[in-house]
Chains A and B, each alone.
Chain A
Amino acid sequence: MTNSSLTGDRTGVPRRAPGAAGDAPRPPLETQGGRRGMRPRTRSAIVTWAFILPAAVYLLVFFGYPIVSNLTMSFQDFTTATFFTGEAPWVGFDNYVAVVGSGLFAKLTANTAIFTIVSLTVTFLIGLGLALFFNRYFPLNKVLRALLLLPWLLPLIISSAVWRRMMEGETGILNVVLEGLGLSGVSWLTNPDIALYSIIIVNIWVGIPFVMVIIYGGLQEIPKDYYEAASLDGATGWRSFASITWPLLRPVVVVVLMLGFIYTIRVLDIILALTGGGPANATETYASRAYHLSFVNFEFGRGAALSNILIIVSLIVAAFQLRANKRASDLAG
């Protein structure tokens, strides 16, 4: 029963959602309590912070510390010897200059951009399509929807291994099928012009359930009577999507795209398992290059520098996405 009272509360104010950063103002109950004077108010704030404290400590240790040590490392000449002696001379921005100045950087940037943007766009469109498709009742809907989550459950190591086997040039099942249809086989992972897109295909496959689940949930939150009202006005199909579904879904879309971007740009396992960055660096991205610099070439400082560049790019793009959304929702009133 608590469930229904909660949903009642939520569906009653569907337009409140756009506060994507999460600080939607609400009736300030505590300030009412604050009338009793400053001290209880400060005290209650301290109690609140006490609830947050364990999480803050945890985040400091498990995220803060690694970030700081990675930053430090990126300004040092950190070699294998450093591991033993602990001595690593400071080199200022040398590592960053070396990484950005290398002949490979333009290619890495292009690969990273293509990988992230194409993956995200296609995953989003397919996920949205599936969510809309499953948003209507039909027999077996629930079962099929549950099954679609399966790709998400397979550990990436395994799905990559299966895909690599399927994409094998001569005996892989994909080419067997293509050739059976009278088409010619594709060098999925060994043609430098194609390999990046093959990896994108696998990444899309892995990402679809995530997008579908979130958007489906968003669709379920849109009250059915909105559509009924609109259909009385003659708005159905595309028009009802454009006038009701999309505007109400937008906060969800923003979150999907932002999280999707953050998760996609740092994908590493799939690349390492399918091509190892080859052929001829055709599938090397910031993430895989950072890994190779550190653990294959033992250039830890440069690896750390590239990781930091990756984080900074994520930050900038996420900030832009949030800003753009804020402006759009301001415009929408």
Chain B
Amino acid sequence: MPHALANYSRTAIGIVIVALLLFPVYWMLNTSLQGSENLLETEWFPFDLSLEGYQRAIDSQLGNLATSLLISIGAVIVCLAIAAPAAYGLSRTNIGGRSVAVFIVLLLITQMIPGIVIANGLYPLYNSAGLLNTIPGLILADASHGIPFCILLIRAFMQNIPHSLLEAARIDGAGEVRVFLSVVLPLSRNALVTAAVFSFLFAWSDFLFALTLTNGSTVVPITLSMYVFVGAHTQSWAALMATATLASIPAAVLLVIAQKYIASGVTGGAVK
């Protein structure tokens, strides 16, 4: 009995911690449900419930949400297509530990570059390639948030694939590409799912590239339109927060579904 009691008191503490840490999120929801305009004070609870904010958010932001979805899915595909083969290559030992180490250090260095430096550098390249204001352009750029991370993460998983499995396939006459596609990839499913979730989240929350590589009128991801909202006027807090809430939904759903992959995936990727 004391054991069960200890469990429940842990649950209680856990609820308190979560409530404290999620207060800003609650505040976002709360504000989104209060219709009153131009009010500095927000009530503690949305007693004066109004869905006006959501009405306005859906009217004006649905297209931008779709744009973000399209770009994020594209970024996931690019990310996996580039990271998975590279991860496999780097998990093999026939190119020397030193080259692998150098490559991994380079991956780490990419994480140190301030985003604004990358965006500035990309602009002229994108301009000459005709990629400004295009969805493919943003997909490629957004993939950069995830690729180094995904390579490290997937490689860690692939390192642990028993060599006997690969060797068996090779003895059966499979070429490297076959081995990769039909043995390595299926075995790395968990890592691939984790990598996909992360690259989706990175792309979904991207703001810098949306800001610098578009002109804000043709291709408008949700983060950019929210920025315009915030920057313009603080008049429509309800609508702004409603948009923010809507923008969090796909990511939240994804995280709940993929939660078990994330915990193990991140650790594996980060450590090995």
Residue ranges of A at the interface with B (Cβ–Cβ < 8 Å): 2-3, 5-6, 9-10, 17, 19-31, 34, 41, 44-45, 47-52, 54-56, 58-59, 61-63, 65-70, 130, 133-134, 136-142, 144-159, 161-163, 165-166, 168, 170-171, 173, 205, 208, 213-214, 216-218, 220-221, 251-252, 255-256, 258-259, 262-263, 266, 268-269, 273, 287, 290-291, 294, 304, 307, 310-311, 314-315, 318
Contacts and interface: CB of A to CB of B under 8 A. Distances in A.
Given A154-B28, A155-B244, A144 B85 contact: no
Nearest to A10: B160
Given A2-B186, A6-B160, A157-B207, 16 more contacts: A17-B271, A48-B92, A49-B89, A54-B81, A68-B121, A130-B17, A146-B255, A147-B22, A151-B22, A155-B247, A158-B241, A162-B244, A170-B40, A171-B40, A216-B263, A315-B109
A63 B144 contact: yes
A166 B207 contact: no
Given A63-B118, A213-B262, A153 B92 contact: no
Contacts of B262: 213
B122 A62 contact: yes
Given A29-B163, A263-B111, A51 B89 contact: yes
A130 B17 CA distance: 9
Contact of A205 (B24, B176, B252): B24
Contacts of B180: 51
B113 A55 contact: no
Contacts of A273: 230
Given A59-B148, A70-B121, A146-B255, A217 B267 contact: yes
A52 B90 contact: yes
B49 interface: no
B103 interface: yes
B14 A133 contact: yes
A146 B256 contact: yes
B82 interface: yes
A216 B15 CA distance: 18
Contacts of A22: 100-101, 104, 152, 155-156, 272
A63 B115 CA distance: 10
A67 B119 CA distance: 10
Contact of B266 (A48, A50, A217): A217
Interface stretch (B5-13, B52-60, B69-77): B5-13
A55 B83 contact: yes
Contacts of A166: 24, 27
A173 B207 contact: no
B85 A51 contact: yes
25 contacts: A6-B160, A20-B271, A22-B104, A27-B163, A47-B176, A51-B85, A54-B85, A55-B82, A138-B10, A139-B11, A141-B14, A153-B248, A153-B252, A154-B28, A162-B241, A173-B42, A205-B21, A205-B24, A216-B267, A218-B267, A220-B267, A259-B270, A266-B112, A291-B116, A304-B117
Contact of A65 (B88, B97, B121, B256): B121
Contact of A268 (B81, B114, B120, B122): B114
Given A52-B85, A140-B15, A290 B116 contact: yes
- Among A130, A149, A162, A314, which residue has the most Cβ atoms of chain B within 10 A? A162
Contacts of B11: 138-141, 144
Main secondary structure of the interface of B (DSSP, over half): helix
Interface of B: 7-8, 10-11, 13-15, 17-18, 21-22, 24-25, 27-28, 31, 40-42, 81-83, 85-86, 88-90, 92-95, 97-98, 100-101, 103-122, 124-125, 140-141, 143-144, 147-148, 151-152, 155-157, 159-163, 166-167, 176, 180, 186-187, 189-190, 201, 204-205, 207, 222-223, 226-227, 230, 237, 240-241, 244, 247-248, 251-252, 255-256, 259, 262-268, 270-272
A50 B86 CA distance: 9
The 4 closest A-B pairs by CB, nearest first: A66-B121, A217-B267, A51-B89, A55-B86
Nearest to B88: A51
B118 A62 contact: yes
Given A48-B92, A150-B25, A158-B28, A213 B266 contact: yes
Given A29-B93, A137-B7, A310-B114, A52 B103 contact: yes
B141 A62 contact: yes
Contact of B226 (A44, A155, A216, A304): A155
B167 A214 contact: no
Contact of A66 (B85, B122, B240, B251): B122
B121 to A, nearest CB: 2
A63 B7 CA distance: 49
A154 B246 CA distance: 10
Contact of B271 (A220, A255, A307): A255
Contacts of B227: 157
A52 B89 contact: yes
A159 B106 CA distance: 31
A255 B270 contact: yes
A9 B160 contact: yes
A315 B108 CA distance: 9
A314 B112 contact: yes
Nearest to B263: A217
B113 to A, nearest CB: 6
B198 to A, nearest CB: 11
A154 B244 contact: yes
